[in-house]
């Protein structure tokens, strides 16, 4: 397995409409996390659900930032 450490550990400033697209993903993630907080009881599983939403937002935004330069 070959890892491109330069790509992984380099800041990728947004270009074009990337910032807007990343923001829309963050907004959707916040909405989903809010639903989890409102509709689920507070427990281990709901905490994991929110963490996974956070992770999904991070990876989606990384997909935009790292691969569209």
Instruction: Reply yes or no on whether the pLDDT at 1 is more than 80.
Output: no
Residues 14-42, mean pLDDT to the nearest whole number: 97
Radius of gyration of the chain from its Cα atoms, rounded to whole angstroms: 15
Mean pLDDT of the chain: 95
Question: Quick one: which of 10, 26, 8 has its CA closest to 18?
Answer: 26
Mapped onto helix, strand or coil, the DSSP state of residue 68 is coil
- pTM here is 0.88
First and final C-alpha spacing in the chain:
23
pLDDT of residue 2: 82
> How does pLDDT run across 31-62, given as a tens digit for each residue?
999 999 999 999 999 999 999 999 999 999 99
What is the structure's pLDDT at 52? 98
CA distances from 39 to 4, 5, 18, 26, 36 (A): 41, 40, 32, 20, 5
């Amino acid at each position: 397995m070959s890892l491109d450490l330069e790509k992984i550990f380099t800041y990728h400033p947004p270009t074009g409409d990337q910032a807007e697209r990343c923001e829309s993903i963050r907004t959707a993630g916040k909405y989903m996390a809010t639903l989890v907080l409102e509709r689920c009881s507070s427990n281990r599983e709901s905490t994991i659900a929110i963490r996974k939403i956070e992770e999904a937002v991070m990876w989606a935004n990384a997909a935009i930032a790292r691969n569209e330069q």
